Amino acid sequence: MVWQPGPTRPRRGRAVTTDERTAAAAPRRGRPQGHGPGFETRRDEVIDIATTLFAERGYSGTSVSDLTAATGMGKGALYRYIESKENLLVEISARVMTPLVERTREVCALEESPLVKLRLISEAILAGIAERPDYVWVYEHDYRYLTGTNRTRFLAQRSAFEQPLLELGREAVAQGLFRDTDVRLLMFQFFSLHKQVAQWFHRGGGWGPEELSREYCRTLFNGFAADSADLAAVERRAAELRP
């Protein structure tokens, strides 16, 4: 069987329903092979299965044989759906980032304070992680296996998400809401805190995205404001006790 690569079409990520799974698991015999009505559904399911495997074993620890075994497909059929193993990473990244970039664009168009916008984006990040923890895990851990134009596109999409947030940070500094520090340093703290949550959900923190977002933003927004406590004394003592 000759594998013909088709265009990569990142689709907005969403959960596969039980009905869809059932439908996909039992394709009608007699339908001509090709991009029939069930193709996208089945493709989503294959990507779902691959993501679970990557999250368990790592991208480089998962072989194409593992993928054929887990999907119950032959190699040829599998490649018709996934195009290539690396393309799975592209699809996984798109399912993580596309909704987030869209929501960020939507939020940034609002006439609201930068704090309200950051709060909404914070919740979108956490909701995305809660909905698809394995996707985010793979996205975070295995993006380094992307090569060539896949890597370039990945970095461009990550930048498309991060740049508007840096801009919001700048606005907040300009409005005196955040202290006047290098805004990259502030926003890196914003990113760091949110990214680590995939692990937290795994470890069973028991909080939902809405609650976590409220707490995180409370910490960050208060923390980024001018000092409310006398931390100079803490710094002096730490300097004396440094090894």
Using the minimum distance from each CB to a second copy, give the nearer residue, 55 or 82. Answer: 55
Residue 120 binding a second copy, by CB under 8 A: yes
Two tokens, residue 127: 């909701």
- The correct pick among 11, 14, 35, 57 for binding a second copy (CB under 8 A) is 57
Instruction: Tell which one of 119, 126, 132, 138 touches a second copy (CB under 8 A).
Output: 119
Q: Is 214 in the site for a second copy (CB under 8 A)?
A: yes
Residue 154 found at the interface with a second copy (CB under 8 A): no
> Of the two residues 36 and 61, which places its CB atom closer to a second copy in the complex?
61
Contact between 85 and a second copy per CB under 8 A: no
Rounded to a whole number of angstroms, the minimum distance from the CB of residue 35 to a second copy is 31
CB nearer to a second copy: give 94 or 107: 107
3-state secondary structure of 227: coil
With CA atoms as reference, report the closest residue to 227 among 185, 183, 187, 180.
180
Interatomic CA distance for residues 21 and 195, integer angstroms: 29
124-to-53, 67, 98, 210 alpha-carbon distances in Å: 25, 31, 12, 9
Select from 133, 151, 143, 128 the least CA-distant residue to 59: 143
| Residues near 148 by beta carbon (within 8 Å), at least 6 away in sequence | none
**Out of 25, 69, 174, 234, the residue judged to bind a second copy by CB under 8 A:** 234
Among residues 192, 175, 187, which one has the least CA distance to residue 226? 175
Which part of the chain contacts a second copy (CB under 8 A), choosing from 11-19, 33-41, 72-80, 205-213?
Answer: 205-213
- The answer to whether residues 168 and 117 touch, using CB atoms and an 8 Å cutoff, is yes
Single out the residue of 43, 44, 45, 59 in contact with a second copy (rule: CB under 8 A): 59
Q: Which of 2, 92, 99 is nearest to 44 (CA)?
A: 92
Binding test (CB under 8 A) with a second copy, winner from 17, 110, 174, 208: 110
* 3 state DSSP class of 212: helix
Which residue in this structure is represented by tokens 């079409």?
9
Among 15, 74, 112, 159, binds a second copy (CB under 8 A): 112
Which residues make up the interface to a second copy (CB under 8 A)? 57-61, 103, 107, 110, 112-113, 115-116, 119-120, 123, 141-142, 177, 181, 184-186, 188-189, 191-193, 195-197, 200, 205, 207, 210, 214-229, 231, 234-235, 237-238, 241-243
